[in-house]
């Protein structure tokens, strides 16, 4: 895999078994043994689930694997797939332990699920930053359950929220249009902006949501997201985005690329999304 320029991700659980119905063993009580094996295999990314935990505190279980991975000497990205199920919530203690943590339950390839995950994750912007990220679950782009506009919204909002962009579809089968979404270099760059700030919600009224992300160079990325089933116009201002003092601003639409600045929106850099009625 490394010879093909790929990274190697593996999966196990912080309990006695994984989620597979066959009952494959998890890592509870065998953290160092498993971590050593992952390092031997050349694993680059470990997703650590929360199955059959036997009542052991989540912080204790996830810290044990964190310590075991560190002792191997191999840098391995550590994903805490705890799902926000336990108290205290994983995003309040996850930063010193792992690199990312699931903030939601499992996503599915439908609009209601996608919106629900975004709504749960978007209020946690204060917990994300370089090296520690909120993870609202994998991308469904290309699986066929949503429209092209809905997939652009999905991908764009995950990028606005600095979420891990984990492709959950078979790349041999996705359409050219969906592949174009997954390979949009500008949106990917927005996700990977070096400041690592998750977008904040400026307003959310009646399913019409304005997101604002401050970028490393001082620009602003803006998402105007319509969560309803009806066509709607959404607008914001440079003042609301924390900008001001200039006579004009340049707008770059990350889906349609450079275009003239519309009078309703004045910002330097923006991601704009409008979803028509289905």
Catalytic residue IDs: 49, 106
Task: Enumerate residues 6+ apart whose C-beta is below 8 A from 260.
Answer: 251
- Say how far apart CA 16 and CA 205 lie, in whole Å: 44
SS3 179: helix
- Say how far apart CA 259 and CA 37 lie, in whole Å: 52
- Say how far apart CA 38 and CA 152 lie, in whole Å: 35
What are the start-end ranges of the E strands in 69-218? 77-80, 100-102, 133-135, 200-205, 208-214
Would strands 208-214 and 200-205 be described as parallel, antiparallel, or unpaired?
antiparallel
Q: Report cis status (omega within 30 of 0) of the bond before 3.
A: no
């Amino acid at each position: 895999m490394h010879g093909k320029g790929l990274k190697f991700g593996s999966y196990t659980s912080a309990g006695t078994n994984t989620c597979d119905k066959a009952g494959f063993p998890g890592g509870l009580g065998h953290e160092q043994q498993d971590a050593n094996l992952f390092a031997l295999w050349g694993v680059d990314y470990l997703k650590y689930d929360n199955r059959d935990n036997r009542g052991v505190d989540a912080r204790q279980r996830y810290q044990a694997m964190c310590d075991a991975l560190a002792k191997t000497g191999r840098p391995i990205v550590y994903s805490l797939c705890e799902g926000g199920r336990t108290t205290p919530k994983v995003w309040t203690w996850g930063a010193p332990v792992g690199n990312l943590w699931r903030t939601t339950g499992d996503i599915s390839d439908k609009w209601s699920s996608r919106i629900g995950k975004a709504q749960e994750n978007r209020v946690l912007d204060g917990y994300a930053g370089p090296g520690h990220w909120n993870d609202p679950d994998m991308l469904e782009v290309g699986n066929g359950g949503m429209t092209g506009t809905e997939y652009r919204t999905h991908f764009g909002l995950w990028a606005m929220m600095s979420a891990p962009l984990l492709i959950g579809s078979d790349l041999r089968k996705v359409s050219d249009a969906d592949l174009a979404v997954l390979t949009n270099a500008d949106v990917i760059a927005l996700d990977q902006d070096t400041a690592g700030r998750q977008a904040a919600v400026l307003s959310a009224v009646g399913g019409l949501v304005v997101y604002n992300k401050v970028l490393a160079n001082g620009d602003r990325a803006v998402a105007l997201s319509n969560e309803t089933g009806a066509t709607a116009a959404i607008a914001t201002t440079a003042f609301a985005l924390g900008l001001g003092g200039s006579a004009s601003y340049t707008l770059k639409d990350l889906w349609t690329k450079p275009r003239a600045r519309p009078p309703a929106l004045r910002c330097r850099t923006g991601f704009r999304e409008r979803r028509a009625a289905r």
